[in-house]
Amino acid sequence: MNKFKSAVILAGGKSSRMKFDKQFLNIKGVRLIDSLIDKLKSEFEEIIIVTNKKEFYKDYKVKIVSDEIKGKGPLSGIHVGLKEASSEYVYFIACDMPIVNLEYITYMKSIIKDVDACVTKSQNHIEPLNSFYNKRIINKIDEYLCNDRRSLFSFINNINTMYVEEDKAREFSHNWDMFKNLNTQEDLIIDNELSL
Ligand SMILES: Nc1nc2c(ncn2[C@@H]2O[C@H](COP(=O)(O)OP(=O)(O)OP(=O)(O)O)[C@@H](O)[C@H]2O)c(=O)[nH]1
Ligand SMILES: [Mg+2]
């Protein structure tokens, strides 16, 4: 059985810094979310989008779901993504992350063994997306969110997380672009060279 069948794209945020909804980001005429789906399809049998605007995905062939516990940030999306996914380990990426690094995904799959999550670390920072999470943490997330906690970073530190160290991750992405995300309009200008 394929333990790594499912990938989830988080697209349920407020985009308050970007000032327009990031799930509709369009780069040189290509919708970022469409390009993500296309790239992820080569590695995952099941793709799920967790969105706060289901009505915009009527023609999509992938699974479209919304947060159950609303308004609590990315962990809400991970919660429902894990519930809806059919595999044991689930890959998560954000709708504003333009670079999908398939070699790195394959690498993470090869090292994951009985952990709650596989997340990359750089010095004191952790990268919660472009990461894998195990379905078995659903109840823990549920409890955490219901206690009005929402910090993804502290949650990751409190589960059995396997960390990939920075030096190793840089072998796959020397400039760290596999963690790049587009938060502001300035990010779009700076990234004028980006094409999907
Ligand atoms: N499903 C879901 N996804 C979320 C939620 N909050 C943030 N996200 C997603 O998590 C990813 C990372 O979040 P941010 O970069 O902070 O995005 P954001 O919260 O929409 O943007 P800001 O309002 O500027 O912080 C993005 O893909 C968001 O769409 C949420 O409450 N539910
Ligand atoms: Mg946010």
Is-contact 6 90, C-beta < 8 A? yes
Is-contact 105 172, C-beta < 8 A? no
Q: Look at residue 24 in the predicted model and tell me its pLDDT.
A: 95
Q: Mean pLDDT in the chain?
A: 95
Taking the CA of residue 51 as reference, the ligand 1 atom at the shortest distance is 1
| Cβ-Cβ contacts under 8 Å for 176 (sequence gap 6 or more) | 122, 169, 170
Q: Measured between alpha carbons, how far is 36 from 53 in angstroms, rounded to an integer?
A: 18
Domain boundaries, the chain: 6-190
Is-contact 80 9, C-beta < 8 A? no
Tokens of 194: 């980006």
- Residue 87, classed as helix, strand or coil, is coil
Largest separation between any pair of C-alpha atoms in the chain: 44
Distance from Cα 141 to the centre of ligand 1, integer Å: 17
| % of residues, the chain, pLDDT over 70 | 97
Q: Which residues line ligand 1 (CB under 6 A)?
A: 10-17, 22, 50, 67, 72-74, 76-77, 94-96, 181, 183
**How does pLDDT run across 32-46, given as a tens digit for each residue?**
999 999 999 999 999
Q: Measured between alpha carbons, how far is 157 from 154 in angstroms, rounded to an integer?
A: 5
Q: Look at residue 196 in the predicted model and tell me its pLDDT.
A: 67
pLDDT level of residue 28 (50, 70, 90 thresholds): confident
**How does pLDDT run across 95-143, given as a tens digit for each residue?**
999 999 999 999 999 999 999 999 999 987 999 999 999 999 999 999 9
Q: What's the Cα-to-Cα distance from 73 to each of 107, 130, 152, 153, 171, rounded to whole Å?
A: 28, 16, 9, 12, 31
Fold of 6-190: Spore Coat Polysaccharide Biosynthesis Protein SpsA; Chain A (3.90.550)
The pTM (predicted TM-score) of the whole model is 0.97
